[in-house]
Structure 1
Amino acid sequence: MSHQDLPHTLKLMTIWLLIGLGIFLGFKLWEHEREASRFQLAGEVIVLTRGGDGHFHWPGRVDGIEVDFLVDTGATTTALPQVLAERAGLKPLGAVRAHTAAGATRGFLARADVALEGGVRADKLMVTVLPDLAAPLLGMDVLGRLHFSQKPGELRITPEP
């Protein structure tokens, strides 16, 4: 490689790096837009669109900590991963044995303030905290207070009158 080839090679490398960066940033923007479009507010109606994982997700907060709840109509109570409960500073109120899709497990009960996008709140909600839970589950203790209907790929939620 001669001394004059270096600037040309450097230019080509820079061009390819810029192309790669453009593709990466474009993918990240597309990913962000896709996540944001899973939650929509149409007047008082909350519309959740099924995610790529086949589940409905509802963004919210647990004692001020941002979370992405997995909507679980098969769960009696709202359940939180222990790591999240500890980060939110939730205090154990008693031991509990829970039955999950993965089998029986032990955890504890705690109270939490749950705030969901769209203005739905459940203050001082009794939640189940489980050590091996992968994601926060929004159960029927909250969902049962709402009116919801489902059509393919979409969950429409309105607060009860």
Structure 2
Amino acid sequence: MSDEIPRVAYFVLLLIALGGYLIVEFRANPGKSLRQMLAWGLIFLGLIAGFGLWEDIRNDVAPRQIVDGGRIELPKQDDGHFYIDMRLNGEAVEFMVDTGATQIALSPSDAERIGLDPETLSYSQMVATANGTAFAAPVRIDSIEIGGITDRDVAASVTDAPMDISLLGMSYLSRFARVSFEGEVMVLER
């Protein structure tokens, strides 16, 4: 609650200043003031729409991944990471490419989406993560698809710790003949 008081005070002062300005402007020239308010309102709405649609626009202009046969290009994202969208057992799953991860590490929610029950898995492997030690359950993924590439019966693990995103580690990346960087783009080739 104490963090809210300065924020509320700031907004009250802002509203008082803005309200005072509007009263003075409307008294001097109401027609012109109304047109200017409408113009600024439309500009503001345009900015909100632009920010709201930015990811869609960005994906159309600069897609998150380009798949061309056995070549996959992953542009570096704003957070400095590389992401890849794949289909596991027919379900779409987003991964962050993690060269520091030994194998595919599925989040519990992604594991459930692809048909695994995290509640019944045996979390028997101790794993070192960026957030400390966790436990993981070894699993097999029936199929992994990206573009025309399909891999079957792939080893992975499901962590017992909550994760925002699944990780694509070295055991899967080593299936590619070449993993390289071309400027700000990670290239995977079979």
Bin the TM-score by the shorter chain: 0.7 to 0.9
Given that residues 70 and 148 in structure 2 are in contact (C-alpha distance below 8 angstroms), is that contact kept between their aligned partners in structure 1?
Answer: no
Give the deviation of 1:116 after TM superposition.
Answer: 4.2
Query: What is the TM-score with the length of structure 2 in the denominator?
Result: 0.66
For 1:30, give the aligned amino acid: W
* Alignment root-mean-square deviation, CA: 2.8
Q: Equivalent residue for 1:145?
A: 175
How far does the alpha carbon of each residue in 1:83-130 deviate from its partner, in whole angstroms, 9 at most, with x for none?
221233214553222111111111322222453433333323221111
Name structure 2 gaps, 5 residues minimum: 1-29
Higher share in strand: 1
Q: Equivalent residue for 1:30?
A: 54
Q: Which has the larger radius of gyration?
A: 2
Give the alignment of 1:118-133 within 5 angstroms. 118-130=147-159, 131-133=161-163
Which among 82, 87, 100 is matched to residue 61 of structure 1?
A: 87
How far does the alpha carbon of each residue in 1:49-95 deviate from its partner, in whole angstroms, 9 at most, with x for none?
11111111111123333222111122111001112212332145532
Query: What is the TM-score with the length of structure 1 in the denominator?
Result: 0.76
Given that residues 74 and 140 in structure 1 are in contact (C-alpha distance below 8 angstroms), is that contact kept between their aligned partners in structure 2?
Answer: yes
Give the deviation of 1:146 after TM superposition.
Answer: 0.3
Kindly tell me: are residues 101 and 114 of structure 1, through their superposed partners in 2, closer, same or farther at Cα, counting changes over 3 Å? farther
Higher share in helix: 2
2: distance between equivalents of 1:12 and 1:48? Answer: 44
2: distance between equivalents of 1:33 and 1:143? Answer: 29
Given that residues 60 and 114 in structure 1 are in contact (C-alpha distance below 8 angstroms), is that contact kept between their aligned partners in structure 2?
Answer: no
Give the deviation of 1:48 after TM superposition.
Answer: 0.8
